[in-house]
Structure 1
């Protein structure tokens, strides 16, 4: 069987070539299992995936690789890879109309059926380019490239013998820049987990050599390509800080092709990193920002190796990830006096609301001051995002006005008033409801009455004795 894969994008010899990474949608005629199982993926700085298409850029404008020289013959051994995921052997080759470009695989041209490369099931091969800019042919455009795939005849397979081999899935890792990585797996089985080495990619905004070391991906099968970038994460870090955590570093991971079922990000820091920043292991967090929404991922500390502490976070999908330290943000929100006027020695209650706007539970020692002097302290525990209430009595013996505050927050002015004698007499009058009798200055009291009665009795007794006594 023979099918052609037509590419509608041109390649200028000093320009770029773009074609999709999946072969099946581009066949001009009916497809079969052979065509559907041919895939293309980048394997050099000259190639990349953009919107599902494999783009080859040989121009001087490519910031990641040197362009093709004028009036010279330039060879690039490994530009992209062709992957065959079928269940039988296949012959694969590429054709085009330019005399200035030659495609190679295994050191030999693969530009005709006679010079094809035979791939075993789940095998891939690197494809290189030779570009000749010395002749008139260099002035033309490469208008069409056709990828051919044909099932290998049994006798052809037998004749090649040990030259054909099963290689399983193919993993490719590239570092286009210091702050980015590109990962691709070809021919992965459904449910298979592939681990990509990020080569200790330093996270944006990271302090103390916080790095992303590995990305483990479980795919739905087929091929998966990931773009990892540690730049452009300022927005996500700011949102984590607004939530109350301390952002330590961030990285963005996006799926360019394929489907991911789940993934694990593995990070590491030097020994002593947590102690130097006052971070408890339990407060280490990884926040996933997706569409402006933040979710907190569980973090597992996986041990130490090579003087570095390692930890990992599993995620259901990719987006931007911020490694952070959960912090408590405890403060006194408001304070108030229960009563503003009291007598000397009488206490007044001052109440305060203590809030925690952070992402970790915390405590704070709250000081109550009167005219700037600390008169009481309370230790308040507040859960993350919660508010606690604290109430403390205060009193003054001397009349006057006193400024009261809690944790530096003004609670009001306490007025201590002395008793006024006139006010006190008025407060004790019958008109004011007092049961205490009022003593008049010239009044005739009970004591006086009893004295008078005793005197009269004595006089009467003396007169009676005088009349009975003989004269």
Structure 2
């Protein structure tokens, strides 16, 4: 079992499709709560290396596939850890998700573990979306407040958007500063929006009096004028010049499906210019980008693009493709549905353009008396 009596952080490395990169060390500190939560490999995809780091090796799953790897590792709570309220895994990598008993482990869906409990973790990877990359995962441990009157008060300010006039294909940088004016730890999610659609997000964890600048970069590919900013902080108009390539239509093949089924969303991109142009289309569900496709459109021609999106929860969802309304999908309930009995299509909460560089993924646990993240 992975254990550490003096480390604040227990590190684990996950190699996604690439094994030729050495393990990187994390700086750690000391804390009396370091025994509260431990990681333990429970499958052939996970092992402890010489540095006592948990290595997840998915090199055998190269290619455009979606797969579920069950019972990869466990998260265990110590017998004496009676002040833990919740545990979850936080990350911003599209195409990768962690599950426990069929439910995704995320800030919105947390594990509630009692002293002595151990939870087996499944890992899902969709290589249509996930690419070899270097990202950071954090296992977050939430503790009960030692004092009931300690609360966080995190606000964002000092929004800046630059430049405000660009050519199609150029990048806009958006910055904001978050500060915690409360007397306790807290977390806030900074969400980058374009015309109200969430296209990127970052998690900010701050102690009392701490501040942090959050920076986003957004590649602007479609001509027009857009309101770009950070949700709850502000926005600014940005004008994009260039050939008037546009999504001329967006439709849904079947507007009513059953939970667990996939909806096909079709879009047509038109290029009226006299040269071939490459553009990235974004599929959004209820105002959040969940998938992307990069296509090349011939001069004076069109290109058809199809997104496939699965829906696990009943409800009605609004669908758009790069700002063009495709309609709604109604998802009806199906009795006895188990997410682990099928392969998954793209399932990220906020899709980013996948990085092109190969690398490794870090998985780490952070613990403090209330909240703590590894950054």
Per the normalisation by structure 2, the TM-score is 0.32
Per chain length, whose mean CA-contact separation is higher, i.e. which structure has more relative contact order (CA < 8 Å, sep 6+)? 2
Per the normalisation by structure 1, the TM-score is 0.26
Q: Higher helix proportion, which one?
A: 1
Report which of the two structures shows the higher radius of gyration computed on alpha carbons. Answer: 1
